[in-house]
Amino acid sequence: MTTDTVAESFTALFGEAANATCFAPGRVNLLGEHIDSHGGHVLPMALPFGISLAAAAIDGDHDRIASAQFDDIAQYRCGAPKTGHWSDYIAGALETARSQGWLAGAAAIYCDSAIPVGAGLSSSAATIIAVLKAFAPDNLAATDLATLAQSVEHDFIGMPCGIMDQMAIAVPAPGEILLLDCRSLEYERLPLPSDWDIAVVHSGQHRALADGRYRQRIEEAGRARQLLGLTWLTDLAREDTLPALQDPVLSRRVRHIASEEARVMQAVEALRNGNATAFGALMQIGHHSMVKDFDASTPEIDRLVADAVEAGAHGARITGAGFGGCIVALLPRGEKGQWWRKVSTIHAKASLLF
Ligand code: GLA
């Protein structure tokens, strides 16, 4: 749905017109996985599809939240904690809009999302950002929008996510690559070279970000940081040898984080030089690291990545938090159609999202 049709559905459902409509895209991460919380650099790209939303302030002390994806209308009591309902992300963003003084009382929301949930494409961050944008002042800086959206995840939802998704949604235009320093939040917007193409394929396997494995990786990295006496694990990207840790699991987590940061630095070089072969090779090694060191892939995704490369991609890897969801592949421009015909004959449950 476009923002216009979402506004029409809003009026049909709530019997009054929306005051604001907005759009927030999904994102795909090309490289730099699970390092945003550790002061690393990441290379996400905003997608052309996302969430469209219509909103209005209403009387009373309950928000009314509806979505094209669900049949019920959620009633959320202003000031209450999360309820475990699908509308929690929206309710949390409305709480933040109120605490910022952008919204005086309750609100009605109608949204439509084209971002599959649990696919690694940031449906939750996009939802939160779309709601905040509906009420935020026009001159709010993208970085402030992103950090407020992250605080909804941390404080309302209880998800200790990094800042990559929110920045990737708030800053670049769809199709641009964001080179983001997650430590300083400085960024550069880089164009995709004209002979490169990006494909995003859903494996058909869903995962829930809130299912504990993401949090577990954050905790493991936190323990490693303490043991090593470091503020930022990505500082280890500059070391020739990694410091020894007795726990083999923590050692592997640290190796992923340090090597992934180093790969992003090399990938930026490859991107600036338009060297798709080098960028693709780094994606491949990055995937291997997600499999072997971060334990964040699945056998089905590994087969999809292997077949994506076999079918002609320069490189492919699992994208986002992992544990299922999507892969991202780098292709020579103009070859997506024939590439997908090959991949889809082997992977009947997979779907090409972009
Ligand atoms: C999720 C989180 C991000 C990031 C990625 C993994 O999308 O929200 O902050 O950590 O996983 O790179």
- Nearest CA, atom 10, ligand 1: 34
pLDDT in tens, 5-41: 999 999 999 999 999 999 999 999 999 999 999 999 9
CA of 163 to the centre of ligand 1 (A): 8
**Residue 275 in this model has a pLDDT that exceeds 80:** yes
Closest CA to 110 of 222, 18, 202: 18
* Cα 248 to ligand 1 centre (Å): 23
Query: Cα(343)–Cα(346) distance, rounded to whole angstroms?
Result: 6
- Does the beta carbon of 261 sit less than 6 angstroms from any atom of ligand 1? no
**Cβ–ligand 1 contact at 318 (below 6 Å):** no
Q: What are phi and psi of 284, to 5 degrees?
A: -60, -45
Percent of the chain with pLDDT over 90: 95
Q: What is the pLDDT of residue 190?
A: 96
Contact (Cβ atoms closer than 8 angstroms) between residue 158 and residue 33: no
Alpha carbons 239 and 260: distance in angstroms, whole number = 13
In tens, the pLDDT along 324-339 reads 999 999 999 999 999 9
Distance, in Å, from the CA atom of 124 to the CA atom of 334, rounded to the nearest integer, reads 32
pLDDT above 70 coverage of the chain, percent? 99
Q: pLDDT value at position 300? A: 95
Q: What is the mean pLDDT of residues 80-98?
A: 97
- The terminus-to-terminus CA distance of the chain in angstroms comes to 17
**pLDDT value at position 209?**
55
Of 253, 194, 248, 193, residue with least CA distance to 221: 253
Testing ligand 1's pocket by substitution, the residue of 153, 165, 166 carrying the most ligand atoms inside 8 A of its CB is 165
pLDDT of residue 210: 52
Confidence at 227, pLDDT banded by 50, 70, 90: very high
User: 333 alpha carbon to ligand 1 midpoint, in Å?
Assistant: 28
Q: Is the CB of 133 under 6 A from ligand 1?
A: no
Residue 35 CA to ligand 1 center (angstroms) comes to 8
* Higher-confidence position of 206 and 308: 308
Give the model's confidence band at 88: pLDDT under 50 very low, under 70 low, under 90 confident, else very high. very high
- Active-site residues: which are they? 165
Q: Place 168 in a pLDDT band, splitting at 50, 70 and 90.
A: very high
The tokens describing 304, both together, are: 């999809």
Closest CA to 246 of 219, 229, 227, 259: 227
Choosing from 34, 167, 264 the residue with most ligand 1 atoms within 8 A of its CB, the one to mutate for a pocket test is 34
**pTM score:** 0.97
pLDDT at residue 294 is higher than 80? yes
Average pLDDT of span 264-281? 98
**Please, which pLDDT band fits residue 195 given cuts at 50, 70 and 90?**
very high
Q: Is the CB of 27 under 6 A from ligand 1?
A: no
Give the model's pLDDT for residue 131.
98
Nearest atom (ligand 1) to Cα of 125 = 8
- What is the pLDDT at residue 208? 59
Distance CA 107, CA 55 (A): 7
Centre of ligand 1 to C-alpha 321, Å, is 5
202 pLDDT band (50/70/90 cuts)? very high
Ligand 1 contact via 164 beta carbon (within 6 Å): yes
CA 2 to chain centre: 21
pLDDT computed for residue 1 by the predictor: 86
Q: Is the CB of 172 under 6 A from ligand 1?
A: no
State the pLDDT confidence band at 173, using cuts at 50, 70 and 90: confident
How far apart CA 61 and CA 80 sit, in angstroms, is 10
Candidates 157, 214, 263, 327: which one to mutate for ligand 1, based on the most atoms within 8 Å of Cβ?
Answer: 214
Residue 74 · residue 89 · CB < 8 Å: no
36 CA closest ligand 1 atom index: 10
Ligand 1 site, residue 63, Cβ cutoff 6 A = no
> 105 C-alpha vs ligand 1 centroid, how far in Å?
32
Interval 110-125 mean pLDDT: 96
What band does 217 get if pLDDT is binned at 50, 70 and 90?
very high
pLDDT in tens, 242-254: 999 999 999 999 9
**Ligand 1 atom closest to Cα of residue 164:** 9
Res 135 pLDDT > 80: yes
